[in-house]
Amino acid sequence: MIKSFAVLDEKLGNRLLLIAVRRGLIYLIPLLLLGSFALFFLSLPLSFYQDAMDKIMGDHWRFVLVSMHDGTFNIMALLMVLSVSYSYVAEYRDRHGDNVSPIIAALVSLGSFIAISGFSKAGFSIANFGVFGVFVAIIVAVVSSKLFLKLSSFKFLRIKAFSDGANSTYDYAVTSIYPAMLTIIFFALIKQILTVMLDISDIQNLISNLLYNGFSKVKSPFWSGILFIFLIHILWLFGMHGSHILEPVAQKIFVPALTANQTLIGLGQVPTEIFTKTFFDTFVLLGGCGATLCLIIAVFIVGRHRNQLRLSKLSFILALFNINELIVFGMPIVLNPIYMIPFLCIPVILTVFTYLAVYYGLVPYTINLVEWTTPIFLSGYASTQSINGSLMQLFNLVVGTICYMPFVRLAEGVSKARMGQNLQKVYTLFNEQNRVMSNFTTRYDDVGNIARFLTADLEDDLQNKRISLFYQPQVDYEGNVFGAEALLRWKHNSYGYIYPPLAIALAEESGLMDKLGYWILETACSDLERMNKMGIQEITVSVNVSAVQLESDSFIANLEEIIKKHHVKPGSIQIEITEQLALANNRKTIEQMIAIKNLGVKIAMDDFGMGHSSLMYLKEYDFDTIKLDGSLVHEILTNNNCRNIISSIVLLGKSLNYTVLAEYVENEEQKLVLHELGCEKYQGYLFSEAIPYEELIKYIFPKNRYLDYSPKTPF
């Protein structure tokens, strides 16, 4: 079942239209949060708060918050046109490689939206640019983007212009003149046809009336309320802000219902309207659409997925104020076939439960206007003037949480399966690029998602010391251990051990390498210090260093600090660099390697003999050890050229006074041939795989001739 859900989730997630709408809303999250907080602080139903703000700041604080609200929610339709259109064209360009500017397409969509809205007509309502116009904005954004892309595909409509200095922005602008012009003309003509032939002067008002008429035909107030909640969440599942799109219905049906209750109370009569806008905001939309506060608590209770827990913690405070865009699009819930069921059903269930509680007198009618940003429990009391309102919210919170819990477990299973598949894509691409990262974390596909996911977990595990060092013993011909190579091992909580070169590459790309490299050096020296105290004095620990580390200005100072801190001999530490790094031969590399040698630390060249013209560079660096590339050792039994190369390197090593060590020695035959060629130092599975520190001690302690059983301080 998990595999089936994973396949369905992937198919839905690849739909261009749905991606554009979802991503367009994600782009608006900062503005949605700003507008939500402005509304919250503006309308917080606490008299002492309102009085205190008036005394301290006068009326100015309200004007500031109203302006913030105007700059966000009151231009929501305009923002939606820009973000959805940009997302659509950007994704289309990435998929098809078309040379079309998403910025220009977004501006064309904005022009198209204003053209069809009748902005210059008498009686135009500026509210059409706010939440009332979101539905039309999404339609115009998608249609205008499609039309603009289609027109741009016709060569005869694209003006060829190549500016001096290869100014691509100018070229984009000129080639878009005719497609942009025709797109906006199309919407202007549609507007004129609607006005002249159908007598429709305000398309926003038309849609508002259509929605209202549809609901007014539902004679039962109960079923009208159920339909309202259900449609809100259907729209949300497809990435559209359901509450904003159905705001005209709320304003024409459910806001007047609250006014009717207040009027009856003023006349000394009993309220009659159960369903009001405040009813839904207070008792159903706990934490926002889908009762997502219940989902967040369910994740806290049964969730094991670290990223979901992290996201839930980040969203919790916002959800208390019914702001849930982070969890809706971060989880994500939009287009998610697993969360679709509880997201649709739980609000309906809570609506029915609360309706029955009010109907049978357990909870009072809602009689006070409470803004949707008012926190849970406070809103329940303020809207009903009864503690029973808060208790009803608590009951609904428990019910919703219990309903979400099994879906959280199922979603984590599907996510783990999907991310595992994406991890294999990363491994494949990483190896195809010769173990070099190329902006993986900035990609907007599956590879980018898993790269960012792993990077966040790597940073978290590094911070909380959930990564480790293993050691692969290095032995001589007699089997005595003279050294060990420290190797990073990161055991992910969901995917097991992550390929070490990939972990290093992620650290380099994300800026974590200095921190990770410092931890590796310190851990290796700490373990070496413990070995020294046990009497293992003549053991060398090798530590791999990347180009990013070596070029860091703080590397030498950190290395010296760590050596002194753990009281180890500088000569018992060996820094391994790759052949490619050595061959870079830039001033910074040379200076750093000289500084390393001045500290008394050894230097080894890893992967020597990978095809570069490296022999001439041996004179530039004072290497202590040359580690043969594994490809030479792998073919030593079958390829005479490999044997000749190794023999030459060994002879050169005797002349230049460096040690030759063979890696990837896997069988006794390889070891014997290497011995015949003069190579006496080995590392590989024939002797041991990489093992934890405790197992390393067990491996070397009973038999090693390099041991000194009289523990002593090296200084």
- Among all chains, which residue has been given the structure tokens 């009208």? 224
Domain boundaries, the chain: 1-14+218-432, 72-217, 468-500+507-700
88: phi then psi, degrees, rounded to nearest 5: -65, -50
Contacts of 542 (CB under 8 A, 6+ apart): 474, 483, 484, 485, 486, 574, 575, 576, 604, 625
SS3 495: coil
Q: CB–CB of 490/454 below 8 Å?
A: no
Q: Give the pLDDT of residue 710.
A: 46
Q: What is the dihedral of CA 649, 655, 658, 663, to 10 degrees?
A: 20
Is the distance from CB of 338 to CB of 414 less than 8 angstroms?
A: yes
Unique residue bearing structure tokens 């009973």: 702
Maximum distance among all Cα pairs of the chain, rounded to whole angstroms: 108
Q: Is 438 helix (H, G, I), strand (E, B) or coil?
A: coil
How wide is the angle at C-alpha 301 spanned by C-alphas 12 and 417, nearest 5°? Answer: 35
Q: How many helices (H) and strands (E) does the chain have?
A: 33, 10
- The three-class DSSP label of residue 586 is coil
Please name the residues in contact with 241: beta carbons below 8 A apart, sequence gap of 6 or more: 25, 76, 131, 134, 235
Q: What is the pLDDT of residue 713?
A: 39
User: Could you please report the per-residue DSSP string of 127-168?
Assistant: GGGTGGGHHHHHHHHHHHHHHHHHHHT-GGGS-----TT--H
Q: Encode 185-204 in three state secondary structure.
A: HHHHHHHHHHHHCCCCCCHH
Q: What is the pLDDT of residue 715?
A: 33
Query: What's the DSSP call for residue 285?
Result: -
Q: In the 8-state DSSP scheme, what is residue 366?
A: P
- The alpha carbon of residue 199 and the mean position of all alpha carbons in its chain are separated, in whole angstroms, by 48
Predicted TM-score of the model (pTM): 0.67
Res 434: pLDDT: 64
Alpha carbon 709 to its chain's center: 52
Contact 339, 331 (CB under 8 A): yes
Would you state the torsion angle of the CA atoms of residues 282, 288, 289, 292, taken in this order, to the nearest 10 degrees?
A: -110
Phi then psi for residue 24, to 5 deg, are -60, -40
DSSP letters spanning 593-604: HHHHHHTT-EEE
- How far apart CA 461 and CA 452 sit, in angstroms, is 14
Say how far apart CA 379 and CA 363 lie, in whole Å: 14
Strand, helix or coil for residue 321: coil
Distance CA 604, CA 53 (A): 68
- 3-state SS assignment for residue 335: coil
Say which DSSP state 283 is in: I
Distance of CA 430 to the CA centre of its chain: 19
User: In Å, what is the CA distance from 585 to each residue of 491, 513, 514, 588, 610?
Assistant: 35, 21, 21, 8, 17
Token pair, residue 35, equals: 């507008």
C-beta separation of 678 from 468 below 8 A:
no
Q: How many CA atoms lie within 13 A of 16 on its CB side?
A: 15
The pair of three-digit structure tokens given for residue 647, joined into one six-digit string: 């023999």
Which H helix or E strand runs over 540?
strand 540-544
468-500+507-700: CATH architecture: Alpha-Beta Barrel (3.20)
CB 347 within 8 A of CB 233: yes
* Residue 644: Cβ within 10 Å count: 11
Instruction: Identify the H or E element spanning 628.
Output: strand 625-628
Q: From CA 402, how far away is CA 415, in angstroms rounded? A: 21
The parts of the chain modelled with pLDDT lower than 50 are: 613, 709-715
Q: Which strand (E) or helix (H) includes residue 668?
A: helix 668-676
Element (H, E) at 471: strand 468-476
* N-terminal to C-terminal alpha carbon distance within the chain: 63
Count other Cβ atoms within 10 Å, centred on residue 380: 26
Residue in 29, 35, 30, 116 with CA at minimum distance from that of residue 74: 35
User: What residues have CB less than 8 Å from 207, skipping those under 6 apart?
Assistant: 135, 136, 248
Give Cα 503 distance to the centre of its chain: 17
Query: What is d(CA 328, CA 250) in angstroms, rounded to the nearest whole number?
Result: 22
Q: Are strands 681-682 and 691-692 parallel, antiparallel or unpaired?
A: unpaired
Helix (H) or strand (E) holding 625: strand 625-628
- Answer whether 321's CB lies under 8 Å from 11's CB: no
404 Cβ contact list (under 8 Å, min separation 6): 294, 295, 298, 342, 346
Characterize the bridge pairing of strands 602-608 and 625-628. parallel
Rounded Cα gap, residues 675 and 681, in angstroms: 9
